[in-house]
Structure 1
Amino acid sequence: MRRAHTVGATLLKVHAHGTETWGWQGRTLSRRADGRWLRVVARPKDKTPGATWDGYAHADGLLPRSVPRPRLHDVAEWTADGHRYRAELSAYLPRPALATGGPVLGTDVDLPSSWWADLREALASTAAVATTRTTVRQQWIDRHFTRLLGIPAPAIAWTTGHGDLHFANLTGPPLVICDWEGWGRIPVGFDAGLLHAYSLLRAGTAARIRRELAHVLDTPTGRAGELVALAQLLQVTARGGHPDLAPHLARHAERLTAMPVP
């Protein structure tokens, strides 16, 4: 990946420097590059690129400019060593993410009402974008929802959303929403539910999320989408991910369903 990052910098005619930022399981590597941000993603050459491969470019072209996000400047693709690589040069954000070390929030965040208003507006603007990109699949819900939560799967209302909303992908103030590689069709309430679930270790912030996003979370359709988000995270914790978060997820799911988590 380090060699690939150097190749990407050469192709896009920038000089990479500064601290390395690694993505999930080393699939991506990012660094500063001449005042911008150079991200390189890899996948085996024999695997067809999925929706996350060019999600940034689709977001840059389809989302309204009112949705605050890093702008994409240039892209390069190549193959080497049995892998396909994609380099994306985007705007550098001087402010760090509101959570560090992963998506689970470890310390409370104190954000002004204006930041929350901007988040609500950004999510509403994203919801209005028509796309065939799929982030959450009905097939996954049909297969796993009842197994993970112990209740029948509800009817789902669909919308367009970020799909990986947590404070490690948010900065501010001012608000900027990062990591658009997986955006697409999601259940209504999924983004809000995911942000809340990843914040359950910090009761103050979790309560603030429920107040600020009550217009979604406190509706039947929003509650259904929140349960899908919880089910997905319960699957992650069942496989050993986020062990500190696991009991909080189970308790919250039981509060919402009035049923013990299987």
Structure 2
Amino acid sequence: MLDLRETPIPDVIGHCAAAFSIDLDTENPAFGWGGKSMGFGTSRGTWIKILFRPASQINERIWTGEECASVLTGVSKPQLLGSVRWFDPTRELVWRADETTRVESPSISSTPEIREEPRNLSGAWWTALRDSLTALTETKTTRVAVRQDLIDRRIREYAGPMVDPTVDEWLPTHADVHWANLTAPEMMLLDWEGWGLGPRGLDGATLWAFSLLVPAVAERVSDLFADDLSCRSGALARLFMCVELLRMIRNFGDHPDLAEPLTREAERLVTELSGAE
């Protein structure tokens, strides 16, 4: 898979600059997870994000997320200004580039997880996060972020028949709420490629899981989303995130520091959901 951190793509950058009639700040790129995307400031004070997919693996859910999210209201997020996409026969890739309003506040972390308590999260910041995700749940959408069959597989791989993984409440969800996708001091939620329906509580469960190395923050997240996380769907969402991240640690070496707290919480949730003493 192409890693944009290591492979120069001057032709792609040139195509974007021409398509948007804009200059890109190529001296200061920002890279997404695994080098699968990159972003640049622009000469008109906006932001360009470039990403790709193999031509044989275009996923409608991921590929149309930003456009579908552009009509959301009540959600603190960058505004989509324009988008282009094109086929690259040499690399057998499909590229896309999105121009959005630029977010001046930086991401809270360079990684999805945090290892110390963020210093600039005010009470208003937490309220804005809660309000944005509440507004999202009130949106009507046919998009699906996380399927029941995936939840079935992940939970049964970990817990076998001890836990019934059937979700009984589904709501619109961002599906990737972690500390690299949140900004401060102004709260903005980034990267809307994969949003759609998911288990109630998934967004709170995701942020909680990526906060487990800082118990005070994990507790703050649990309190903020208590209504969602205390119900059965929320407990399943927490267990799903624990076992999904444990799988990423095992298969890809991602987030290895989280292995111990994720295992501890997964075992607790299996006991809770199975009704075991």
TM over 0.5: yes
> Which residue is 1:24 aligned to?
33
> Which residue is 2:75 aligned to?
67
Q: Report 1:168-207 matches (<5 A).
A: 168-207=180-219
Distance across 1 between alignment mates of 2:56 and 2:206: 32
Equivalent residue letter for 2:39 = S
Aligned residues: 256
Which of 56, 81, 84 is equivalent to 1:76?
84
Q: Displacement, 1:255?
A: 2.2
The answer to whether the 8 A contact 1:148-1:234 is kept is no
Which stretch of the first structure deviates more once superposed, 179-188 or 233-242?
Answer: 233-242
> Which residue is 2:97 aligned to?
87
Q: Displacement, 1:71?
A: 0.4
Counterpart secondary structure, 1:86: strand
> Which residue is 1:108 aligned to?
117
Distance across 2 between alignment mates of 1:245 and 1:149: 19
> Which residue is 1:155 aligned to?
166
| CA-to-aligned-CA distance 1:119-153 (integer Å, 9 cap, x gap) | 11111111111212111111112222121244323
Equivalent residue letter for 1:188 = R
Which of 235, 245, 257 is equivalent to 1:223?
235
The answer to whether the 8 A contact 1:149-1:253 is kept is no
> Which residue is 1:13 aligned to?
21
| CA-to-aligned-CA distance 1:78-116 (integer Å, 9 cap, x gap) | 12222111110111111111112x201122124222221
Equivalent residue letter for 1:230 = C
Closer, same or farther: CA 14–149 of 1 in aligned 2, 3 Å:
farther
Counterpart secondary structure, 1:70: coil
Which of 243, 254, 265 is equivalent to 1:252?
265
Q: Displacement, 1:154?
A: 3.2
Which stretch of the first structure deviates more once superposed, 142-151 or 68-77?
Answer: 142-151
The answer to whether the 8 A contact 1:227-1:253 is kept is yes
Closer, same or farther: CA 87–148 of 1 in aligned 2, 3 Å:
same
Aligned CA-pair RMSD: 1.6
> Which residue is 1:241 aligned to?
254
Gaps of 5+ in 1: none
Distance across 2 between alignment mates of 1:120 and 1:140: 26
Equivalent residue letter for 1:177 = L
Counterpart secondary structure, 2:61: coil
Q: Displacement, 1:182?
A: 0.7
Equivalent residue letter for 1:195 = L
Which stretch of the first structure deviates more once superposed, 51-60 or 151-160?
Answer: 151-160
Q: Displacement, 1:183?
A: 0.5
Runs of 4 or more off by more than 4 Å in structure 1?
none
Gaps of 5+ in 2: 273-277
Distance across 1 between alignment mates of 2:258 and 2:159: 16
Distance across 2 between alignment mates of 1:191 and 1:198: 11
Counterpart secondary structure, 1:31: strand
Which stretch of the first structure deviates more once superposed, 143-152 or 120-129?
Answer: 143-152
Q: Report 1:141-152 matches (<5 A).
A: 141-150=151-160, 151-152=162-163
Q: Displacement, 1:221?
A: 2.5
TM-score (norm 1): 0.92
Q: Displacement, 1:199?
A: 0.8
1:133 aligns with 2:146: no
Distance across 1 between alignment mates of 2:269 and 2:125: 27
The answer to whether the 8 A contact 2:109-2:179 is kept is yes
Structure that is richer in strand per residue: 1
The answer to whether the 8 A contact 1:141-1:153 is kept is no
